[in-house]
């Protein structure tokens, strides 16, 4: 394909350059012009991180072929902060604390700029609608809305420009003040470089071959055709690991690339470093792997049965970890109880969906130090593991944590850094890997899906006498954080309540599903979902207010936990009271009081959405009634 000559005005400058015709406008801006402020969060028009202005219109540049920008005026996030001076909206994002990881923020600022251009008086509900095409995974959007409202009011003169200034700390008291985030200017302006924005001279691009099978033996891997391709510098497989292969937060059961067999769809099998990403992609397609199918196991309860397919030889029962908690005599507690309620709960796998897909750079420096730059949530542990894998002393392994575009636990695992290090060592050139959204979703850890059986015995007065919980979690193909998740899930399972008889068992199980790993709230979310739902079921049966049943059982100062630890001060009663008061809660048993309640629709409740929701069909039906 011949290059096209692109003439356009980009950020106020005339640009005339050759461009590959297959490029999207986003690639051209980021790769050819090094305007990396706008990001690629999805590549499919669904997240808004790539939003730019084309002839003044907000456009998702991942959907626009570069040729379409011929003759156009394109403005990226870099155009907003003229010579480093932030726009009013950017200052408002800074002031309102609207940026967290920052990865969505350039696109969000563009969309918000467009919103206020379209309607300088837009109210909060209109602002929400206008930002509906931009996903933020960190902030919960509230402070973003606050920021846009603040900018609107300053622009309209309803608020003075001083409303954007730093909180006053002249009295010297700095702690307890909402000082503006020191990293926000770099995020609202798109100046902050995430790993995928970084380039090094002579850098190679990495692509990964992934398993199409859930459970299969690797009979052979033939990399010769890939290696023979022009522009390909290196192809690696598990055979290239010089040291003791294996990583994981607790058990080191995961090889850098599949070794002997693959255990889940999407597992890395081989990796290529080439002069450009397209060549690397073609080389990946040229690698020939012969697999021999093995019986897979997908259900954790099935995996626990005798005779089930074994995922890891070291764990013939497929149990990654079982955590028991025992207090008192739980059966005696049930026998004593006036009421025993049993239910089953389950939670699904969810994706971290940090807006920044995995990315990293590696190089070997002048002192032979293997250096990996990546958004890792655990550089200390990664360096220990990598040193063993590449058989080097720790002093020759260096991890640098690049800005993390959202983690939520998903970047605690060393899933790709090993491949980068090996390729850097093989080629002695800098190498960079940037995952696509699809790659990120199919191959990285999820929250543990869970199945929980919960039995609780209570007295008529609401006191909990006994609690028995059994939770089975699908840990997927590798251990990652499963052991820790099961432990935290179990320790916190019974909630902050003093219960004399407790039996808790949590099981993390190997299957051939996508691995489960660390995810914000780490097992406690699954177990406490069950316990807190259960308490309401019981409160209804006993005719108790939900706050009341919790108060009756609440741990107090000096309480003993279910792991027999003595606590000091316990703030639970304060938290209950604060939430009850702030919400203006009307007391009563949770017996479907619904519309009869007197405490609904206060000022601090948002209006319900009637237009523009993704369930819009419902509204038409309602209107037709």
517, 510 Cβ separation under 8 angstroms:
no
478 binds, among another protein, ligand FES, none (CB under 5 to 8 A by kind): none
Work out whether strand 431-434 and strand 204-210 pair parallel, antiparallel, or are unpaired. parallel
**Which of 43, 255, 300, 546 is the binder for ligand FES (CB under 6 A)?**
43
**Burial class for 312, CB neighbours closer than 10 Å (0-12, 13-18, 19+):** middle
Among 320, 412, 433, 544, binds another protein (CB under 8 A): 412
Q: 185 contacts which partner out of ligand FES, another protein, none, CB within 5 to 8 A by kind?
A: none
How do strand 431-434 and strand 359-364 relate by DSSP bridges?
antiparallel
- Interface pattern 243-282 for another protein (x via CB under 8 A): ---------------------xx-----------------
Does position 103 interact with ligand FES (CB under 6 A)? The reply is: yes
The interface with ligand FES within residues 406-435 (CB under 6 A) comprises: 406
SS (H, E, C) 244-300: CCCECCCCCCECCCCECEECCCCCEEEEEEECCHHHHHHHHHHCEEEEEECCCCCCH
Q: Which residue has the tokens 């543990």?
A: 448
CA dihedral (368, 372, 377, 383) positive or negative: negative
- Cα separation, 324 vs 273, in Å, equals 46
**Residue 509 contacts which entry, another protein, ligand FES, none (Cβ below 5-8 A, type-dependent):** none
- Half-sphere exposure of 472 toward its Cβ, with a 13 Å CA cutoff? 15
Please give the backbone phi and psi of residue 268, each rounded to the nearest 5 degrees, phi first. -70, 135
Q: Least distance from C-beta 3 to another protein, angstroms?
A: 30
Number of C-beta neighbours around residue 74 at 10 A: 24
Q: Which of residues 568-597 bind another protein (CB under 8 A)?
A: 568-572, 574-576, 578-580, 582-583, 585, 590, 592-595, 597
Q: Which of residues 134-153 bind ligand FES (CB under 6 A)?
A: 136-139
Q: Which does 571 bind (CB under 5 to 8 A by kind): ligand FES, another protein, none?
A: another protein
- State yes or no: residue 536 binds another protein (CB under 8 A): yes
Interacting residues with another protein between 39 and 58 (CB under 8 A): 42, 44, 46-47
Site string for ligand FES, 184-223 (x = CB under 6 A): ----------------------------------------
Among residues 139 and 374, whose Cβ is nearest to ligand FES? Answer: 139
Q: Which of the choices another protein, ligand FES, none does residue 327 contact, using the CB cut-off of 5 to 8 A by kind?
A: another protein
Query: What would the x/- binding string for ligand FES be over residues 355 to 374, using CB under 6 A?
Result: x-------------------
User: Where do the DSSP E strands lie in 149-282?
Assistant: 204-210, 216-222, 232-237, 261-262, 268-274
Angstrom distance (rounded) from CA 486 to CA 346: 15
Residues 6+ apart with CB under 8 A from 37: 76, 77, 78, 106, 189, 190, 191
> Does residue 126 belong to the site contacting another protein (CB under 8 A)?
no
Whole-number minimum distance, CB 192 to ligand FES, in Å?
A: 11
Q: Which of 101, 390, 421, 485 binds ligand FES (CB under 6 A)?
A: 101
User: With binding defined as CB under 8 A, does residue 556 bind another protein?
Assistant: no
441 forms part of the interface with another protein (CB under 8 A): yes
> How many residues form the binding site for ligand FES (CB under 6 A)?
25
Nearer to another protein, 427 or 514 (CB): 514
53 binds ligand FES (CB under 6 A): no
* Nearest by Cα to 282 from 321, 231, 246, 244: 231
* Angle between helix 572-582 and 546-553 (nearest 10): 170
299 binds another protein (CB under 8 A): no
Binding-site ranges for ligand FES (CB under 6 A):
40-43, 45-50, 60, 62, 99-105, 136-139, 355, 406
């Amino acid at each position: 394909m011949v290059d096209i000559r692109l003439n356009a005005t980009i950020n106020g400058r005339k640009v005339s350059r050759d461009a590959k015709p297959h490029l999207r406008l986003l690639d051209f801006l980021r790769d050819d012009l090094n305007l990396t402020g706008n990001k690629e969060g999805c590549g499919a028009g669904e997240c808004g991180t790539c939003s730019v202005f084309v002839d003044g219109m907000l456009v998702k540049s991942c959907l626009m072929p570069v040729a379409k920008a011929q003759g156009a005026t394109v403005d990226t996030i870099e155009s907003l902060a003229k010579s480093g001076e932030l726009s009013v909206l950017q200052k408002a994002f800074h002031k309102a604390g609207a940026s967290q990881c920052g990865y969505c923020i350039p696109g969000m600022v563009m969309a918000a700029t467009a919103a206020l251009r379209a309607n300088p008086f837009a109210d909060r509900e209109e602002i929400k609608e206008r930002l509906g095409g931009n996903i933020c995974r960190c902030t919960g959007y509230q402070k973003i809305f606050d920021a846009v409202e603040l900018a609107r009011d300053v622009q309209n003169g309803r608020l003075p420009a001083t409303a954007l200034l730093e909180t006053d700390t002249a009295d010297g008291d700095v702690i307890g003040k909402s000082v503006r985030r020191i990293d926000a200017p770099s995020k609202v302006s798109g100046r902050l470089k995430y790993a995928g924005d970084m380039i090094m001279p002579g850098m190679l691009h990495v692509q990964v071959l992934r398993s199409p099978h859930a459970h299969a033996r690797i009979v052979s891997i033939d990399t010769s055709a890939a290696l023979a391709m022009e522009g390909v510098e290196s192809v690696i497989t598990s055979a290239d690991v010089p040291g003791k292969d294996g990583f994981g937060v607790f058990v080191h059961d995961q090889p850098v690339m599949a070794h002997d067999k693959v255990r889940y769809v999407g597992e890395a099998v081989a990796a290529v470093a080439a002069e450009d990403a397209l060549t690397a992609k073609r080389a990946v397609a040229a690698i020939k792997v012969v697999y021999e199918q093995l019986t897979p196991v997908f259900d954790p309860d099935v995996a626990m049965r005798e005779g089930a397919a074994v995922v890891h030889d070291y764990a013939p029962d497929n149990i990654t970890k079982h955590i028991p908690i025992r207090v008192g005599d739980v059966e005696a507690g049930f026998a004593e109880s006036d009421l025993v309620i049993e239910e089953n709960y389950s939670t699904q796998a969810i994706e971290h969906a940090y807006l920044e897909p995995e990315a990293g750079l590696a190089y070997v420096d002048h002192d032979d130090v293997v250096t990996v730059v990546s958004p890792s949530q655990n550089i200390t542990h990664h360096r220990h593991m990598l040193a063993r894998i590449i058989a080097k002393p720790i002093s020759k392994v260096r991890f640098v944590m690049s800005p993390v575009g959202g983690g939520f636990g998903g970047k605690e695992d060393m899933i790709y850094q090993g491949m980068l290090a090996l390729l850097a060592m093989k080629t002695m050139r800098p190498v960079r890997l940037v995952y696509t959204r699809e790659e990120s979703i199919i191959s990285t850890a999820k929250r543990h899906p869970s199945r929980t059986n919960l039995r609780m015995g209570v007295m008529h007065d609401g006191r909990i006498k006994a609690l028995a919980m059994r939770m089975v979690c699908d840990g997927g193909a590798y251990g990652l954080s499963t052991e820790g998740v099961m432990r935290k899930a179990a320790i916190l399972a019974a909630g902050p309540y003093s219960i004399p008889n407790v039996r808790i068992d949590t099981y993390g199980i190997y299957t051939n599903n996508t691995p489960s790993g660390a995810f914000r709230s780490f097992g406690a979310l699954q177990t406490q979902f069950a316990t807190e739902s259960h308490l309401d079921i019981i409160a209804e049966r006993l005719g108790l207010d939900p706050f009341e049943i919790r108060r009756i059982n609440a741990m107090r100062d000096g309480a003993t936990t279910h792991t027999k630890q003595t606590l000091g001060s316990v703030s639970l009663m304060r938290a209950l009271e604060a939430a009850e008061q702030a919400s203006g809660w009307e007391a009563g048993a949770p017996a479907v009081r619904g519309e009869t309640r007197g405490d609904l629709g206060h000022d601090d409740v948002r209006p319900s959405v009637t237009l523009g929701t993704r369930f819009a069909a419902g509204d038409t039906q309602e209107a037709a009634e």
